[in-house]
C-alpha cells in the first residue's frame, strides 16, 4: 500500500543521507574521504576553478579538515579510481566492476566518440608498458594538423580512448594533469573484475541511490543512462525491495511518488538549524536539478555556460543551504594571487527567515570557505535585495 510522507520529513531524510545534517558525518582525515566516497557512490570532478574545484569542495562540505592530498593519496593507494560515471568522477575501488559494462561497450566501438587511430593506440600502450606511467604532455606530436575531436593531438585522443575502454587507468594526478598506467598495473588482485549482469548493475544503481539519497525515483536512478532494459531491471529490483519490505513507495505532500528506505520513515532527525553550507554546483545533493526543485522548491541552474547577457544570478553561483532550506545563492570568485575572496553577488531568496537568524552562521561559513580557497580577505560587491547590503557588510567586517 502506498504511504504518505510529509515533505519536511523527506527533506531531513535526504539531507542526512547526503551527510549534510552533521558536522563530521563521515569522521575526519583521509579515512573520512574514503568513507564519504563509499557512501555517496561517487564525487564529480570538474575543471572550473572560480573557487576550489568541485571534487575538493564537495568533500570539504562534509569533512571540515579535508585536504586535497587525501584524495590524491587514496588514488595512489588504489582505494579510489577515476572514471566517467554520469560525468568524470572519483569512485571507490570496491565498485570497479560496475563501470565494466560501459568500458566494454566503448571497447566494442558502440560509441561514436573516442575514434582514436588504432596504430596510435598501440603506440601509446606499448610506450606506457615499456617506459612506465605517462601524462598526455609526455607524448610529442610533430604534426600540427588539428585532430577530429576537440582538436586533440592523436596521442591524447588515444589516451582518452584507452582510458574509457579500460585498458589504461589514471594512476595519479598533479592538479588537473593526469598520469596514465596500464589497468593491470593499477588494479590489485583482490579487485573483482567480473562484469556484472544487467540485473546486478541495476541492483548496484538502486542500492547506491537509496543509500546516498534516502529516497529515489526510476528517473533519478537511470539519470543519463539509456536503454529500456535498464529501466525494466531497475523497476524489477525496486519491486523486489518493496516485497521484502526494505523500502516503501511513498506519496509526498504535493503529489509526487518516491521510493524511500523504511528505516528513514519513522526516524527522528537531529539538525543544527544554525548551520549554513555553501554547496558546489556539482555537489551530489543538488546534481538532480528537478529533484531539488520538487522537494526543496529551489530552482538551481549553473549559468557559466549561459551568455553573460542572459544570466539571472551570475557565472558561478553556490547554493546556500540553511538547515533544511535553500535561502539563496552567491556568485563567488577566489582571486588567488591577491588572496582575496570575492562575493560578487549575494542573492537572498527566502524572505521568511529573518537575517539575524541566518547571517552570523553564513558569514562564519564564508570565512572558513575563503581560508579553504587560500584567501586572507573577503570583499562583498553586491547584495540582492539591496536593503540587506549594509547589515551583511557589517557582519562580514566583524573579527
Per-residue pLDDT, averaged over 256-271, amounts to: 88
From 170, 186, 202, the end of a domain falls on 186
What integer pLDDT is reported at residue 146 of this predicted model?
Answer: 47
Q: In this structure, are 45 and 164 located in the same domain?
A: yes
Residues 64 and 176 grouped into a single domain: yes
pLDDT in tens, 328-373: 999 999 999 999 999 999 999 999 999 999 999 999 999 999 999 9
In this structure, the answer to whether residues 163 and 207 fall within a common structural domain is no
Task: Specify the 3-state DSSP secondary structure of 264.
Answer: helix
Total structural domains in the chain?
Answer: 3
Both 173 and 240 in a single domain?
no
Q: Give yes or no for a contact between 199 and 192, defined as CB atoms under 8 angstroms apart.
A: no
Cell numbers for 245: 519490505
Domain holding 117, by residue range, is 25-186
**257 closest CA partner among 5, 9, 12:** 5
The cell numbers describing 207, all together, are 542500492
* pLDDT above 90: residue 152: no
- Please calculate the CA angle 39-282-157 and round it to the nearest 5 degrees: 100
Residue 205 shares a structural domain with residue 322: no
Domain's final residue, options 155, 186, 217:
186
Asked if the structure places residue 384 within a domain, the reply is yes
For residue 278, being part of any structural domain is answered with no
Q: Is the dihedral of CA 203, 209, 212, 216 positive or negative?
A: negative
Residues counted in the chain: 399
Query: Does 140 reside within a domain?
Result: yes
Place of cell 532527525: 269
Give the pLDDT confidence score for residue 139 in this predicted structure.
86
Residue 149: what pLDDT?
Answer: 39
Whether a cis peptide bond, with omega within 30° of 0, leads into 29 is: no
Q: Tell me how far apart the alpha carbons of residues 230 and 217 are, in angstroms, rounded to a whole number.
A: 14
Kindly state the DSSP code that residue 221 receives in the 8-state scheme: H
Please report the pLDDT score of residue 147 as a whole number: 44
Last residue of a domain, one of 122, 151, 186: 186
Instruction: Provide the CATH number for the domain around residue 234.
Output: 1.10.10.10
Strands 377-380 and 325-335: unpaired
The answer to whether residue 143 scores a pLDDT higher than 50 is no
Q: How does residue 227 score in pLDDT terms, banded at 50, 70 and 90? A: confident
Characterize the bridge pairing of strands 247-252 and 257-261.
Answer: antiparallel
Contact residues for 3 (Cβ-Cβ < 8 A; gap 6+): 248, 249, 250, 251, 265
Q: Does residue 142 have a pLDDT over 90? A: no
Which helix (H) or strand (E) segment holds residue 16: the answer is: helix 7-17
Q: Are residue 83 and residue 115 in the same domain, yes or no?
A: yes
Q: Are residues 123 and 41 in the same domain?
A: yes
Query: For residue 68, is pLDDT > 70?
Result: yes
Tell me if residue 177 falls in helix, strand or coil.
Answer: strand
Amino acid at each position: 500500500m502506498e504511504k504518505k510522507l510529509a515533505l519536511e520529513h523527506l527533506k531531513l531524510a535526504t539531507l542526512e543521507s547526503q551527510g549534510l545534517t552533521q558536522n563530521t558525518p563521515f569522521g575526519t582525515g583521509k579515512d573520512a574521504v574514503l568513507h564519504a566516497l563509499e557512501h555517496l557512490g561517487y564525487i564529480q570532478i570538474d575543471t572550473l576553478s572560480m573557487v576550489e574545484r568541485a571534487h575538493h569542495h564537495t568533500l570539504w562540505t562534509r569533512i571540515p579538515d579535508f585536504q586535497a592530498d587525501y584524495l590524491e593519496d587514496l588514488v595512489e593507494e588504489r582505494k579510489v579510481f577515476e572514471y566517467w560515471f554520469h560525468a568524470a568522477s572519483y569512485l571507490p575501488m570496491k565498485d570497479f566492476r560496475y563501470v565494466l559494462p560501459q568500458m566494454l561497450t566503448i571497447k566494442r566501438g558502440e560509441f561514436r566518440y573516442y575514434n582514436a587511430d588504432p596504430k596510435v593506440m598501440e603506440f601509446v600502450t606499448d610506450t606506457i608498458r615499456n617506459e612506465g606511467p605517462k601524462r598526455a604532455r609526455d607524448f610529442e606530436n610533430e604534426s600540427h594538423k588539428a585532430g577530429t575531436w576537440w582538436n586533440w593531438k592523436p596521442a591524447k585522443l588515444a589516451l582518452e580512448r584507452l582510458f574509457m575502454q579500460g585498458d589504461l587507468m589514471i594512476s595519479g594526478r598533479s592538479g588537473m594533469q593526469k598520469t596514465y598506467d596500464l589497468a593491470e598495473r593499477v588494479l590489485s588482485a583482490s579487485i573483482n573484475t567480473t562484469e556484472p549482469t544487467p540485473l546486478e548493475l541495476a541492483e548496484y544503481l538502486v542500492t547506491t541511490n537509496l543509500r546516498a539519497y534516502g529516497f529515489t525515483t526510476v528517473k533519478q536512478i537511470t539519470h543519463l543512462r539509456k536503454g529500456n532494459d535498464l529501466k525494466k531491471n531497475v523497476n524489477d529490483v525496486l519491486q523486489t525491495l518493496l516485497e521484502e519490505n526494505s523500502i516503501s513507495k511513498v506519496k509526498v505532500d504535493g503529489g509526487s511518488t518516491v521510493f524511500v528506505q523504511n528505516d528513514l520513515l519513522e526516524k527522528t532527525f537531529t539538525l543544527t538549524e544554525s548551520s549554513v553550507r555553501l554547496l558546489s554546483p556539482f555537489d551530489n545533493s543538488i546534481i538532480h536539478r528537478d529533484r531539488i526543485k520538487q522537494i526543496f522548491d529551489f530552482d538551481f541552474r549553473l549559468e557559466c555556460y549561459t551568455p553573460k547577457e542572459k544570466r539571472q544570478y551570475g557565472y558561478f553561483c553556490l547554493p546556500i543551504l540553511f538547515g533544511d532550506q535553500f535561502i539563496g545563492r552567491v556568485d563567488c570568485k577566489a582571486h588567488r594571487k591577491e588572496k582575496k575572496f570575492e562575493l560578487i553577488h549575494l542573492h537572498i531568496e527566502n524572505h521568511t527567515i529573518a537575517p539575524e537568524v541566518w547571517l552570523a552562521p553564513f558569514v562564519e561559513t564564508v570565512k572558513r570557505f575563503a581560508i579553504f580557497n587560500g584567501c586572507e580577505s573577503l570583499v562583498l560587491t553586491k547584495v540582492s535585495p539591496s536593503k540587506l547590503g549594509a547589515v551583511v557588510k557589517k557582519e562580514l567586517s566583524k573579527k
